[in-house]
Amino acid sequence: MDVLLGSIDVRELLSTQDIEESSPLSAPDLHLLIDRLQIRSLHIKQKVKDYILSHQAEFSQIFTSCSDSISKTEEISADLSNVVRLLSDSNIDVEIRDASREICSVRKDLKEKKELLSLVKIIVNLVERLKLVREDLKVGELINAAELLRDLKKDLLIVDGDGKEVGGGKREPVVFQLLRKEWFDCFDEFQELSIEKMKDVELRMVLTAMEVGCRSTPLWAC
């Protein structure tokens, strides 16, 4: 592409180069200059054509990149126009505020449902364990019943002493009070069965002692 970048010296196109710059050209020189300029122009055009053909891939890539850039620019312009139109809408603030409130409300409801589900699981567990205590007392398994009552006492927040119970305060569900009452009922039944068990043991010990004593003395003494 040097032919495009270099300058053209008019004197090189004339038949003679020994002319002054201020001297007028003759008619033959003008015709000769025009012909040679046309030839030079055709030569330059051919050079440009050859250069473009030899670098067709590069020019194609340049044109493709320009086309993609124009398309992306148009897309960005359209997106910006949409954003500006949305922001200029007076209802957008209200919609955003309402959406935020709805999200907060949904999160709050979800949290409350999770807490309620956890509470239900705890209550079900306590009820099942109290049922096991009842079953153990029914069949006379006092040791198992005692262990369950001991663990339930901690979980139900029952204190020692006068039988009072402590809970989570005024907002505590009523069901925990009912569960504590059930625990006290089971505990009373456990004490009654334990006393009866002890009486039976003492009675057997007395009868055993009496039987041994009678056998060690004459029959008439018994």
Q: How far apart are CA 167 and CA 187, in angstroms?
A: 19
pLDDT of residue 5: 47
Q: How far apart are CA 41 and CA 121, in angstroms?
A: 95
Residue ranges of the domains in the chain?
Answer: 29-89, 116-161+171-205
Q: Has this prediction a pTM greater than 0.75?
A: no
At 21, give phi and psi (nearest 5°).
Answer: -65, -30
pLDDT of residue 20: 56
Q: How far apart are CA 145 and CA 137, in angstroms?
A: 6
Q: How far apart are CA 195 and CA 80, in angstroms?
A: 87
What is the chain's pLDDT, residue by residue, as a tens digit (222 residues)?
444 545 555 556 565 555 555 566 667 767 777 777 788 778 888 887 777 778 777 877 787 777 777 777 878 877 777 777 766 655 666 777 778 888 888 888 888 888 888 888 998 999 999 999 999 988 888 888 889 999 999 888 887 654 454 555 557 778 888 999 999 999 999 888 888 888 777 667 766 766 654 444 443 344
131, 132, 191 from 183: Cα distances, Å: 10, 12, 12
Do residues 2 and 43 make contact, with C-beta atoms less than 8 angstroms apart? Answer: no
